[in-house]
């Protein structure tokens, strides 16, 4: 046997013996897989026949539907393929029905409708990118184009958003609603929907002006004190907007590391745990495997520890759908199916 043939065979043997180790390293913890399956099955069971999910008391149907639908997309299902295709399709149908002539996706009577509107832009834009039916794709494009126009009109003169449109409440804006709009708008732009650059630029400026000297983001531009949940969300939004290495983002990251990182937090009971880690997980995932693996190991253990027998999480006054959708999204981020979450 020639030396060349022997060398090739040795290379092949080495490759075959190292592949399983690499594959094992990438393999998900079976406990996480089981937890996700139970949670997604719970969400599928809880969906109403009209296609929506809701919070306690029948509230926030649009926001809950978008968040739950997003969790199903993270599994790899689409409107036509996958284990939860029917649920995804029903959710899309419901949100498209909620699209108003003025572009709002939601109910004007809901005094927090900008949350649902922003989450719906994010969810529907991810569906739009995978939609194969020509007519349905065109309808989605119309819904998202109107939604972007609504967000532009709803933005305040300072660059933020309030719980409702600036037309309905012109002098109020705050950080968390600003984040949902920025992520929704960026998701739309990534999907090919036209989004005026100045809307994003004004929003980034608003976030920057909400920063306190220690790097935290406060409730609104008028004050309210630095808050870990909004700061984590702000970093995620800045990353979505292409801001990775600015001094503002650097200060915000250091604030998050001091106050949110597992094992380092100085304010463990800051509230809104699920909301905080829904966004902070996105940040950590984008920072690469070293940061993500260390973070995920700690946070996933906390998430799994608190899952109920039904597959849901029962830790907020809003209801079980909200934490279940967010936790399940966290546990599936590294599936890498949704463009808005990809590195």
Tokens of 47: 């969906």
Which pLDDT does position 27 carry in this prediction? Answer: 79
Of residues 324, 320, 238, 224, the one with CA closest to residue 280? 238
Tokens of 188: 């739309």
Using an 8 Å Cβ cutoff, are 116 and 106 in contact? yes
pLDDT band at 266 (very low <50, low <70, confident <90, very high): low
What's the pLDDT tens digit per position in 154-201?
999 999 999 999 999 988 999 999 999 999 999 999 999 999 999 999
Angle, CA of 140, 143 and 146, to the nearest 5°: 145
Backbone angles phi, psi at 61, to 5 degrees: -60, -40
Tokens of 174: 């705050």
Please provide the average confidence, as pLDDT, over all residues in the chain: 90
Q: In which residue are the tokens 């929907």 written?
A: 193
Cα-trace Rg, the chain: 21
Burial (CB < 10 A; 0-12, 13-18, 19+), residue 258, is middle
Q: Average pLDDT of 200-229?
A: 94
**In the predicted model, is pLDDT for residue 99 greater than 70?**
yes
What b/e sequence results for 285-295 when a residue is b if at least 16 CB atoms lie within 10 Å of its CB, and e otherwise?
Answer: bbeeeeebeeb
Burial (CB < 10 A; 0-12, 13-18, 19+), residue 38, is middle
Tell me the DSSP string of 250-286. HHHHHHHHHHTSTTT-S-TT-S-HHHHHHHHHHHHHH
Using a cut of 0.85, tell me whether the model's pTM lies above it.
Answer: yes
Using an 8 Å Cβ cutoff, are 188 and 148 in contact? yes
d(CA 88, CA 34): 21
Domains of the chain and CATH, by start: 39-335 (1.50.10.20)
Q: Average pLDDT of 277-287?
A: 97
Tell me the DSSP string of 31-94. HHHHHHHHHHHHHHHHS-TTS----GGG--HHHHHHHHHHHHHHTT--SSSSTTHHHHHHHHHH
Tokens of 6: 């022997």
Which pLDDT does position 15 carry in this prediction? Answer: 37
pLDDT band at 223 (very low <50, low <70, confident <90, very high): confident
Tokens of 230: 């909004």
What's the pLDDT tens digit per position in 147-162?
999 999 999 999 999 9
Q: In which residue are the tokens 């994003």 written?
A: 200
What's the pLDDT tens digit per position in 112-141?
999 999 999 999 999 998 998 999 999 999
Of residues 161, 79, 59, the one with CA closest to residue 118? 161
pLDDT band at 108 (very low <50, low <70, confident <90, very high): confident
Tokens of 308: 């109920």
What's the pLDDT tens digit per position in 301-328?
999 999 999 999 997 889 999 999 999 9
Burial (CB < 10 A; 0-12, 13-18, 19+), residue 28, is middle
């Amino acid at each position: 046997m020639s030396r060349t043939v022997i060398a090739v065979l040795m290379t092949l043997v080495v490759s075959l013996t190292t592949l399983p180790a690499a594959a094992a390293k990438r393999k998900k913890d079976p406990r996480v897989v089981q937890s996700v399956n139970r949670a997604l099955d719970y969400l599928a069971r809880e969906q109403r026949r009209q296609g929506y999910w809701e919070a306690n008391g029948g509230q926030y149907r649009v926001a809950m539907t978008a968040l739950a639908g997003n969790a199903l997309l993270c599994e790899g299902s689409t409107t036509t393929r996958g284990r939860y295709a029917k649920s995804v399709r029903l959710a899309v149908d419901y949100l498209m029905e909620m699209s108003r002539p003025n572009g709002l996706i939601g109910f004007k009577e809901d005094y927090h409708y900008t949350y649902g509107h922003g989450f719906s832009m994010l969810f529907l834009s991810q569906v739009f990118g995978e939609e194969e039916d020509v007519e349905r794709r065109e309808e989605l494009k119309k819904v998202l184009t109107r939604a972007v126009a609504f967000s532009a009109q709803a933005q305040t003169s300072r660059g933020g958003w309030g719980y409702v449109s600036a037309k309905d409440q012109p002098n109020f804006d705050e950080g968390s609603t600003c984040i949902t709009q920025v992520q929704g708008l960026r998701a739309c732009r990534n999907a090919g929907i036209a989004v005026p650059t100045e809307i994003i630029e004004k929003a980034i400026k608003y976030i920057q002006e909400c920063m306190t000297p220690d790097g935290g983001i406060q409730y609104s531009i008028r004050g309210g004190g630095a808050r870990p949940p909004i700061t984590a969300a702000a970093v995620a939004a800045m990353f979505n907007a292409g801001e990775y290495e600015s001094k503002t983002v650097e200060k915000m990251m250091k604030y998050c590391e001091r106050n949110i990182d597992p094992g380092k937090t100085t304010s463990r009971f800051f509230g809104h745990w699920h909301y905080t880690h829904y966004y902070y997980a996105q940040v950590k995932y984008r920072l690469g495997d070293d940061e993500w693996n260390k973070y995920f190991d700690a946070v996933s253990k906390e998430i799994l520890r608190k899952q109920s027998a039904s597959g849901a999480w029962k830790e907020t006054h809003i209801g079980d759908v909200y934490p279940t959708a967010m936790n399940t999204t966290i546990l599936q981020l590294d599936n890498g199916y949704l463009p808005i979450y990809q590195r």
